[in-house]
Amino acid sequence: MTKERYSRIIGSGVYIPDRILTNRDLAMRVDTSDEWIVTRTGIRERRVSDKDNPTQGAIALEKALKSAHLKPSNLDMIICATNTQEQLFPAVAAKIQAKIQEGEEEPQYMAAFDIQVGCSSGLYAECIANAYIKSGSINTVGVVATDTLTKITNYSDRSTCVLFGDMSAAEIITVSSSPGFIAFDLGTDGRISHLISCHIYSDKFHGKSYLQMDGKKVFNQAIRRMEETARNILKKANYSFSDINLFLAHQANQRINENLLERLDIPRDKYFSNLEKYGNTSSPSLLVCRHEAKQEGKLHSGDLVLSVVVGSGLSWGASLYKEI
């Protein structure tokens, strides 16, 4: 009888850019104020990177490998979740693979590829890593989530420029005899893909492509879809909300997440947030939350973690994870 395979996270790392862009900084560029931004979003500052995605993604992955006491040669695959790749191809993951093995006389040629599902990308990458490991085809995956949204942000549009920041995060996910990842729930409604978009080339901005979003409609969809996916995954895995020890929700807007906490009847002390200091970092959002929650002693062995996300597509998803 074949023993069932599971996957779990054994290491994580983040890259946080040094430059801080505050609400007061933005108020000098557009018609806004610190009070206006905080009241509507919960964000006070965000980070701006001077590095490209392969560079900052590699830094995060190297930190994750160090925390897992592994070397790049231990990886069977690298999955990079990103929406802001500097080139259409090659993959950011391929460049990260090269960067983490610089100077190696005999580099390993592990599979390396990108996925793009908007802000949902990080959770989707975890799901793919879990599926590969459970299939028995590989044992250890480096998941990297990296985005530099400030490079596609229109700083003359106050409805979007206050929201986004840059960040990278990485996790080492490996085979386990007991489940870390218990379940995933994923979904997409392509009929409303126009609500969040960024064209490769834009005549409107003389070739410059900027992120565009219908904020009001996205706000309502985000609450609806994250509530649905949270309920779906708990039903699928035979758990209840009272079983949850830590709740992680995509860090896009605090009013969205407060609404979600109320609808799901989750106590606020079970919710971890870093939105006010980073803003919406897109694909790394949930991975950074999990990393910082553990660093701050808010994630313990045996804890059940419910994570929910929503992103362009319109995509959404949830994961249920037991900390080992």
**Residue of 53, 83, 127, 250 marked catalytic:** 250
CA 319/CA 324 separation, integer angstroms: 15
* Cα 304 to chain centroid, rounded: 19
Active-site residue flag, 23:
no
Q: Are 11 and 144 in contact (CB under 8 A)?
A: no
- 77-81 and 111-115 strand pairing: parallel
**Which tokens belong to 311?**
């992103």
Active-site residue flag, 280:
yes
CA 79/CA 58 separation, integer angstroms: 12
- Cα–Cα distances in angstroms (integers) from residue 289 to residues 10, 67, 170, 198, 280, in the given order: 16, 16, 12, 26, 12
CA 284/CA 119 separation, integer angstroms: 8
**Residue of 23, 53, 119, 127 marked catalytic:** 119
Residues recognised as catalytic? 119, 250, 280
